Amino acid sequence: MVKDGFFSILSNQMGISYRRHWPWVGVAALLGLVAAGAARAPLDKPDTSKSPERLPVIVRVDFGPTGKPPREERLMVDEGSTPKDVVSLLFPIQSGATCCNTRELAAIDGVRSDPATNRWWTCRLNGQSNFSPFLKELKAEDRVEWTYVEQLQ
Amino acid sequence: MDLRRAASIALMGVWWGAAAVWAGEISGRVQLDGPRPKPVEIPVMAKSPQYPIEVCGRSKHSPRLVVSADRGVANALVWLHVSTDSHDSQTPPVTVTLNQQACEFVPHVLLVPRGSRVTIGNSDPILHNLRIFREAQMLMHEWQQPAPQPNEISWRFDEAGRFLIRCGVHSWMSAWVIVADHPYYALSDLNGNFTVSQVSPGSYTLQVWHEALGEQQRKVVVNNDTGPVIIRFAEHRT
């Protein structure tokens, strides 16, 4: 009865017969509820507890002329990891400018790039070498190969 | 004073004066024991298709070990261990030239006093990437434009030591700049011969270094009867 009284008053105010138009009144009420819920939604805080995505990559380190055995591993690494980051998960590394930047990789497991003997660490990503090993972000299933080479001189 | 005594004193003065200005030298030869090795041949290969190499030829002989027909070793560095505290021991700096020709550094070894400036040119019609190292540390790197564009790069060597020059594109290219902090240094010539000049009489340690054969030390005595010093290396690749 209360309900009947409320809608009766409302429909009289709006100049419509609620008895004849009650389905549309119901739809309008429902739409109003939905709009109120949507307006409220931005006030909810976003979920910041999501962990960085983990990616599977393959890392191979070949010590070339040193005689140390090569090592290849399949690793799960954080999204945003670089080829330099992932090799540091297998061996201790040292940074240093062997070409152009102090952030380059100068040594892996104590084996250093050596200008005098023309021995250098090289890096390939999926068979390609045209990238920066300390900047390039890896994708899932990337193959990183660090190889110690001796160039003729 | 009688005449004979005066003459004796005078002669002693002349003798001491001559001894004070007499400077000896250490001369000798660096040679390789065993048969003369064949020059190492290096195939010329491009690091990347963007760097043309036609001007470099098909192969190069390695400049690291150059041995004459009678086994004299070229470009061996010979020096004395002496104190460098005295200002008189300093040699004035100079300006010298190192060039890149047909994808080789010419000359392969330079010996300069500390503070000298080396001007590095590029006579090749291709890009080179000049790098200077002190041991494993790179001191500079710079692209050099092809000839005939102006492309000289100048570097002053303010510290004594051995500095390695490389091209970042053509991996076989190398040169050494030896920076001396006193004048008692020498480089062996194509026949392995060397001379360290203006050496005061006395006993010294003679040091020898070669990039491919390693190092040796020898005790030498400099007087007016010093004979040639023969430094022998067994064939040992470093």
Q: Does pLDDT of B12 surpass 50?
A: yes
Size of interface A-B (CB pairs under 8 A): 46
The whole-angstrom distance between B60's CA and the closest CA on chain A is 9
The whole-angstrom distance between A75's CA and the closest CA on chain B is 30
For position A2, what pLDDT does the model report? 41
**Mean pLDDT over residues B33-48, rounded?**
86
Band (B11; pLDDT cuts 50, 70, 90): low
**Mean pLDDT over residues A35-57, rounded?**
67
Residue of chain B whose Cα is closest to the Cα of A112: B136
CA dist., res. B48 & res. B171, Å (int): 12
ipTM > 0.95 for the complex: no
Q: Does pLDDT of A117 surpass 80?
A: yes
Model-level pTM? Answer: 0.78
For position B16, what pLDDT does the model report? 47
Q: Does pLDDT of B17 surpass 70?
A: no
Residue whose C-alpha is closest to residue A147's, from A131, A117, A116, A125: A125
Read off the pLDDT of residues B118-138 as tens digits, 9 standing for 90 and up: 999 999 999 999 999 998 889
Q: Does the domain formed by A54-150 have CATH 3.40.50.720?
A: no
Query: In sequence order, what are the beta bridge partners of B218?
Result: B206
For position B83, what pLDDT does the model report? 74
Percent of chain B whose pLDDT exceeds 70: 86
Q: Name the residue with tokens 């990437």.
A: B129
Beta carbons within 10 angstroms of residue A133's beta carbon: 22
Chain centre to alpha carbon of residue A17: 58
Q: Does pLDDT of B217 surpass 90?
A: yes
Walk me through the domains of chain B, giving residue ranges and CATH numbers.
24-81+184-238 (2.60.40.1120), 83-182 (2.60.40.420)
Q: Does pLDDT of B197 surpass 80?
A: yes
For position A107, what pLDDT does the model report? 95
CA angle centred on B128, ends B124 and B132, rounded to 5°: 125
Identity of the residue in B40, B42, B136 whose CB atom sits nearest the CB atom of A115: B136
Read off the pLDDT of residues A61-74 as tens digits, 9 standing for 90 and up: 999 999 999 999 99
Which one is predicted more confidently, A61 or A19? A61
Which one is predicted more confidently, A84 or A6? A84
Domain residue spans in chain A? 2-43, 54-150
The answer to whether A112 contacts B40, with C-beta atoms less than 8 Å apart, is no
